[in-house]
Structure formats: structure tokens, C-alpha cells
Amino acid sequence: MASATETHELHLTGAPSLTVRNNAGNIRLHPGAEGQVLVYVTKRARGLLGNVSEADLERVRVDVHQNGNDILIDAEVERSSIFKQITIDLDIALPATAARLDLKLNAGNLEVEGISAPVKAKVNAGNLDVVDGATLGNGSRLAANAGNVTVRASIASNASVDAEVNAGNLRMRLPKATAIYLDARTHAGNVEVSGWPVNSTRSFASASASGALAPEAKGTLTLRSNAGNITLSALD
């Protein structure tokens, strides 16, 4: 295996708007110092027969662009063969409050930890986690095609949030006091709600649950699964 690392340090004058694209590897976002974004890049090349070298990493491109507080990180690798696999892991430290996160990952796992922002995140093959003190802002949309979506976080007041999986499970844990209207449906699977007076119903293979989680609910929490279970439970 061959590996290489690089670090990008970007300075801010306000809350960052961050766009990240990665087609092979992992993405992790977590709180860092105010006024800056640190991007830690780890490139790896693995060979089935051990025939990899530093030259393989030269084909790995990571572009980091900044325009004021708008930051674009684009990580792209050439298509891997059956004999070689090249991946890019991105570890990104940013202020705990961001103006916007727009994240796309083709193959790998994506984690947002402890960040408050409107989050649009999509994973094609892998898991998507939003955890540990994160707050989802209005317009947040989480999606996984083949993998699980796990949320252990809060939803901003009056916000509407969507989360969906195609083939996988959707698990969400929210504070008991969350005042939002739930609309959850799965085509093939179960819908379970615990901690709130909302009951699920079944119709053949499909299941659904809807209703206000608390009095004076504002905004809508829309949960969808094509093939998999949806679980919503209270954190406290």
C-alpha cells in the first residue's frame, strides 16, 4: 500500500459555506477553531498483488478553492481496476456553526459531527451519520442510496428536514422536546416511533406514521425508505 497526506488551511471572516465532492473514500466533518477551516487529506493506493507505488497517487486530484467564506473541496480519483484501489479520505475541521453544507460522496462513509447548519448530504454506496451535538437547519436533506442513515442530533426550531434511504435503514434519535410534524413512510419495512404519541400503521409490506411530535409543531420531518426500516426515538 502507498499513502500520502496533505493539509489545507483556509481563513474565514464569517460562517463558512462548504461544498465537498468525493468519489471514493470517507468524509468526516467536525468542530474546529473559529475563523478557519482545516482540510486533512489522506490518499491511499492498494494493490491486489502489492504492485502500487507513489506514482499511483500522482493521479489523485484534490482541489481546494476559496472565494471569501465559500469553500469548494473536490476530490477525484481515476476509476479503480480489479488490481488497484485508490481512495481519498477527507477530515475537515470547521467552526461549529456553518452557513451551509453541501456534501456528496460516491463510495464510502460520511459523518457530520457537532456542526449546526442546513445540511444537504448524499451518499451513493455507504453510510451517512449526523451525530454528537449536530443541529440540522431548515432545508436539510439527507440521502443514502445503498446504506444506512443514522441521525443523533437536533433540528433547528421551525425547520423542515428530509431524510431518505433507498436500500437500508433510517434511524433517527431526537430530543424529546422536538416540536415538528412527522411524515414517515416505507414501501417495504417497518416504521417504529417511541417517545412520542404517534402510532404507525401497516398496509401489506408498507408502513407509515404521521402526526405532531409535540404541541404547536412547526415544520415537517419527512422520512422515506424504499426497502428498509425507519426508527424514530427520543434522546431523553
Cell of 193: 416511533
Residues in the chain: 236
pLDDT value of position 76: 82
Distance, CA of 98 to CA of 110 (rounded, Å):
17
**149: nearest Cα among 116, 132, 173:** 173
| The model's pTM | 0.94
- 59 pLDDT band, cuts 50/70/90, is confident
CA dihedral 92, 159, 234, 114 (to 10 degrees): 20
The fraction of the chain above a pLDDT of 90, given in percent, is 82
Asked if pLDDT for residue 11 goes beyond 70, the answer is yes
Task: Judge contact between 54 and 2, C-beta under 8 A.
Answer: yes
- Taking the C-alpha atoms of 106, 15, 70 and 94 in order, what is their torsion angle to the nearest 10 degrees? -50
Q: How many CA atoms lie within 13 A of 22 on its CB side?
A: 30
- Say if residues 123 and 40 touch (Cβ distance below 8 Å): no
Quote the pLDDT of residue 122: 98
- Provide the 3-class DSSP secondary structure of residue 230: strand
For 83-114, write each residue's pLDDT tens digit: 577 889 999 999 999 999 999 999 999 999 99
Q: In what order do the strands lie in the sheet with 154-155?
A: 116-117, 135-136, 154-155
Q: Residue 45 and residue 222: Cα distance in Å, rounded?
A: 39
